[in-house]
Amino acid sequence: MDALDGKICLITGAGSGIGASIARRFAREGAIVHIADIRADAAEAVAAEIRNEHGEVAHPVRLDVTDADAATQVVDRIVEQHGRIDVLVNNAGFATRPKPGQAERVAGVYARRAAGEPAGSMSITVNLTDAEFQAIVAVHVFGTFNCTRAALRHMEPRQSGAIVNNASVVGTAPYPVAPDLGTVKAALIGFTRSVGFEVAGAGIRVNCVAPGIIDTPPLQIAPGARERASQKIGVGRPGHPDEVAAAVLWLASDEASYCYGEVLTLTGAWLG
């Protein structure tokens, strides 16, 4: 239980879901965790939970990852406080909410295809607004870039550090029901591979996880979504955030000493 003993870590989007699970697991493994979220109250709640169990090892911080200056300031403050930053987890993200009638259109297309009939379009891209597409790119792509650049400014001189990005298996194959999400997750995979190669010679490991369907609030809210998703997963259930956290922990730890620019998928044998 000491895979990250004494490591100074920053986790974005850690106020709930996968990010909160990563923060809890890191704390159990001996890390000092800075829990960043755009929702200050959510970050504080997770930090308080961790402090109750592990002592003063959790520090909440409000961070809008789309604000490059804010990302730099947060990382710089961590370095001022601890002398370094060892691990960055770029986890902040979201999915665009489906439009009214979208689920029915998608189901109709699949049903017509199964029947061998002309399927038509799901009509998702044509209904995406500029603001929606820009927002998802800003959080996933620019947010990851902003925090990575801020961390590398300190990791490169020390010739040490680990960065783990949270991509998705939908970035590795067509994802027609959410082309905006598929786009940004593919971008994160490309960013990981490119930066991973760039800084490998400096002893900095940049990798990413690409989870499949994980049992987080969006899956729990939509009626029947969990059951429908489970039918496409070989093990018959969505993944748990703690299972993603375990993979992130491994990539962040010294056990992954030969991982540079890698993409670790964990899908439960997802059919897609």
Element (H, E) at 242: helix 241-252
Query: Count of domains in the chain?
Result: 1
Tell me whether residue 119 is in a domain: no
Tell me whether residue 111 is in a domain: no
> Phi/psi of residue 20, each to 5°?
-65, -40
Residue 66, pLDDT score: 98
Bigger pLDDT: 173 vs 270 = 173
Residue 255, pLDDT score: 96
256 vs 96: CA distance, rounded Å: 33
Residue 9, pLDDT score: 98
209-243: per-residue pLDDT in tens?
999 988 876 666 555 666 777 777 888 888 899 99
25 vs 4: CA distance, rounded Å: 10
3-state secondary structure of 162: strand
- Asked if pLDDT for residue 17 goes beyond 60, the answer is yes
Residue 220, pLDDT score: 61
76-95: per-residue pLDDT in tens?
999 999 999 999 999 999 99
Tell me whether residue 197 is in a domain: yes
Q: Which of 140, 122, 142 is nearest to 180 (CA)?
A: 140
Tell me whether residue 112 is in a domain: no
Q: What is the dihedral of CA 173, 179, 184, 189, to 10 degrees?
A: 0
Among residues of the chain, what percentage have pLDDT more than 70? 95
- Range in 128-132, 140-144, 261-265, 267-271 with the lowest mean pLDDT: 267-271
Residue 217, pLDDT score: 67
Residue 195, pLDDT score: 98
Tell me whether residue 125 is in a domain: no
- Range in 22-26, 220-224, 230-234, 267-271 with the lowest mean pLDDT: 220-224
Among residues of the chain, what percentage have pLDDT more than 90? 82
59 vs 14: CA distance, rounded Å: 11
Q: Nearest 5°: CA angle at 253, between 250 and 256?
A: 65
pTM above 0.85, yes or no: yes
Tell me whether residue 209 is in a domain: yes
By CB atoms closer than 10 A (0-12, 13-18, 19+), residue 127 is: middle
Residue 223, pLDDT score: 56
Tell me whether residue 22 is in a domain: yes
95 vs 178: CA distance, rounded Å: 8
Mean of the pLDDT values across residues 176-181? Answer: 92
- Asked if pLDDT for residue 266 goes beyond 90, the answer is yes
Residue 23, pLDDT score: 98
Length of the chain: 272
166 with 18: CB under 8 angstroms? yes
Query: What are the beta bridge partners of residue 89?
Result: 11, 164
187-217: per-residue pLDDT in tens?
999 999 999 999 999 999 999 999 998 887 6
211 vs 167: CA distance, rounded Å: 7
Range of the domain at 152: 8-95+139-266
Q: What is the mean pLDDT of the chain?
A: 94
129 vs 259: CA distance, rounded Å: 38
Residue 127, pLDDT score: 95
Residue 230, pLDDT score: 73
Q: Side chain identity at 90, as an amino acid letter?
A: N
Residue 218, pLDDT score: 65
Tell me whether residue 227 is in a domain: yes
CATH number at residue 181: 3.40.50.720
